[in-house]
Structure 1
Amino acid sequence: MKKILIAFAALVSATVASASDNSLWEKSTLNEILTRGEMQVCLEAGYMPFDMRDKKGNIVGFDVDIAKSMAKAMGVKVDLRNTAWDGIIPALLTAKCDIIISGMTITAERNLKVNFTDPYIVVGQSILLSKKLEGKVKSYRDLNKKRYTIATKLGTTADYATKRYLSKAKVNLFETESEGALEVVNGNADAFIYDLPFNAIYGAQNSDKLVHLDTPFTYEPLGMAIRKGDPDFMNFINNYLAQIKGDGTYDRIYNKWFASDAWMKNIQ
């Protein structure tokens, strides 16, 4: 009788464990994507060269190619969901998308709400300087004076970095990167602080009026964000990133968007 009870207990235990495993699998975003046949990606189109629109209105960029590559490895399609930056984390948390791939810097504050993958690229803040200050301003330290006006994008790490490192200067905040950078072009600000990739491109397009101080003064790893409590999805993404960085796929995508400007003629 005792042996029968032990065997029964073992059977119940195995059944519960199996049910638990199945439950975890059912809750996995990765399984939902595979079942749906589509990966839903939140991003904000407007951050060159990560996410932007071409002349046909399609969202293209570094992030988009990474997302498409990952979806191809899963054997699913991609649904790109253009989302305002201030609502992009809430959209993920309310399951309006499966993942954020949108040039998002990994920060402790954001990490309290979402889980980040391993960094897929590292950037930092650089300076687009008015041509009239060329030679006079050589770093962010030189700009940290009351007489200077700095433009940057509201709610971004550039916003936080500007307030931290240039606390003496006047800071004007804007809804988009382009609006902020245009302030310097139009002579309404002395400098624009933002992520190096955007500044490099915008500075090259407006080299007659801007000087790009291209040595970053912050270290900012960018990661993909997913909902908490999903180890299966996290495991897949991190392993996939390691794979493409090893097989040359990542380099091909990176060089397309960062080592060449051929794509610019197709952008709005």
Structure 2
Amino acid sequence: MKALFYGVVSTACIAQMVGGSASVAHANDSNTLEKISRTKTISIGYREDEVPFAYRTPDGKVLGYTIELCNYIADYVRNQLKLEKINIDYVVATTATRFVLVKTGKIDLECSATTNNAERREQVAFSYPHFITATRFAAKKASNLNEIEDLAGRTVVSTTGTVNIGQLQNLNRAKNLNISVMLAKQNSEGFSFVESNKASAFVMDGVLLAAQIAFSKSPGDYMISSETFGPPEPYGILMRKGDEGFNKVVNEGLRKLFVSSEINRIYNKWFMSPLPPDGRNFNLPMSLELEAAFREPTEYLQ
């Protein structure tokens, strides 16, 4: 039996290993578990500048809240497959490449801050929600931009490949705001346009705006709008669509973590404590919506 775990593992055997997580009826869906068992490696996609969810420090370490969740999942998968060791291959997954990397199997999990919505679920699968946020804008306090309509006629930036772009453009058309929309490749680039006065505001998820401000040279110079571009939506970990065996194991692992007190320690580590490398602190308490999501983990299908 030992040799089975160090060679090519059949789908039926994988189904037995994970305690029914991948039944023989879903034989064609268990490729990720087979690959992980064969290679003893799980590939994790991450963003380089999405603090505190996923980022790379100057010394090359890959860190973050979602990275820690995915490391937990990796160990849970290792245990289910009865592997002595599992290696983690970190792969950069930008907003433009993340879906392709998941769909083609280049990464097994995309572990950053990706919003779950119906359109995206046509391409990929999402784990149980691990964060909930809404789209807002950040601007310099001196600009006196407080409401979305204050952005009329201004140059506003957002990051390419995000739902935030769509929400910004929809409101721009609906309200005839005549906003000139700029596209940034990364969140750090988008915020830098506001810092350098190339754009009046940066539109992004509220928590990611808070991250850019917290790590800026002058955090006190910026504000985040109270008004949102749409309702709050959850973040989820991306997985390959149709790979039901692997997807079920991922959610089983997350459920075990979310209903335990350990999730509070992890959250406080990344949102209520000084962060490496320079000790900035978000001081962002867990929302009531997220507390409820952790108490009763369930798939988001709206």
Whether 1:51 aligns to 2:54 is yes
Q: Residue 214 of structure 1: CA displacement?
A: 5.0
Q: Between 255-264 and 24-33, report the one with greater CA deviation.
A: 24-33
Aligned-partner Cα distance in 1 for 2:109–2:240: 8
Aligned counterparts of 1:142 and 1:253: Cα–Cα separation in 2: 38
The question of whether the paired residues in 2 share the 8 Å contact of 1:257 and 1:263 is answered with no
- Report the secondary structure of 1:234's partner residue: helix
Asked if residue 157 in structure 1 is aligned to residue 170 in structure 2, the reply is: no
* Aligned equivalents of 1:264, 1:159: Cα separation in 2: 30
- Cα distance in 2 for partners of 1:66, 1:221 equals 15
Of 116, 119, 139, the match for 1:106: 116
- Secondary structure in 1 matching 2:113: coil
Q: Is 1:60 the equivalent of 2:63?
A: yes
Question: 1:266 & 1:203 partners in 2: Cα distance?
Answer: 14
One-letter identity of the residue aligned with 1:237: V
Aligned to 1:199: 209
Which of these residues, 125, 130, 139, is aligned with residue 120 of structure 1?
130
| Residues 25-104 of structure 1: pairs in structure 2 closer than 5 A | 27-75=30-78, 76-104=86-114
Query: 2: distance between equivalents of 1:27 and 1:242?
Result: 20
For residues 250 and 138 of structure 2, the distance between their equivalents in structure 1, rounded to whole angstroms, comes to 34
**Hey, what's the Cα distance between the residues in 1 that align with 2:219 and 2:129?**
31
* AA of the residue aligned to 2:181: V
Q: CA RMSD in A?
A: 2.4
Task: Tell me how far apart the structure 2 counterparts of residues 118 and 217 of structure 1 sit (CA, whole Å).
Answer: 23
Alpha-carbon distance, 1:264 to partner: 4.5
What is the correspondence of 1:119-268 to structure 2 with a 5 Å cutoff?
119-134=129-144, 137-143=145-151, 145-146=152-153, 148-167=154-173, 168=177, 169-204=179-214, 205=216, 206-213=218-225, 216-218=228-230, 219-265=232-278
Query: Structure 1 residues 201, 92: CA separation in 2 closer, same or farther (over 3 Å shift)?
Result: closer
Tell me how far apart the structure 1 counterparts of residues 220 and 56 of structure 2 sit (CA, whole Å).
25
Cα separation, 2, equivalents of 1:67 and 1:262: 18
Task: Check 1:131–1:96 CA distance in 2 against 1; reply closer, same or farther (3 A cut).
Answer: same
Once residues 28 and 184 of structure 2 are traced to their aligned partners in structure 1, the CA distance between those partners, rounded to angstroms, is 43
Larger radius of gyration: 1
Are the structure 2 counterparts of residues 27 and 240 from structure 1 closer, same or farther at C-alpha, using a change threshold of 3 Å? closer
Q: Give TM-score, length-normalised by structure 1.
A: 0.82
Q: Deviations over 1:199-235 (max 9, x none)?
A: 1122233324322225644322111122222221121
How far residue 108 of structure 1 moved from its aligned partner, in angstroms, is 2.1
Decide whether aligned partners of structure 1 residues 78 and 232 sit closer, same or farther in structure 2, where only a CA change above 3 A counts.
same
**Residue 5 of structure 2 corresponds to which residue in structure 1?**
none
Counterpart AA for 1:51: A
1:153–1:174 Cα contact (<8 Å) kept:
yes
Structure 1 126/21 Cα, relative in aligned 2: closer, same or farther at 3 Å? Answer: same
Aligned residues: 245
Deviation of the 1:191 alpha carbon: 0.9
List runs of 5+ in structure 1 lacking aligned partners.
Answer: 1-17
Identity of aligned residues (%): 24
Q: Tell me the equivalent position of 1:12.
A: none
The structural deviation recorded for 1:38 is 1.9
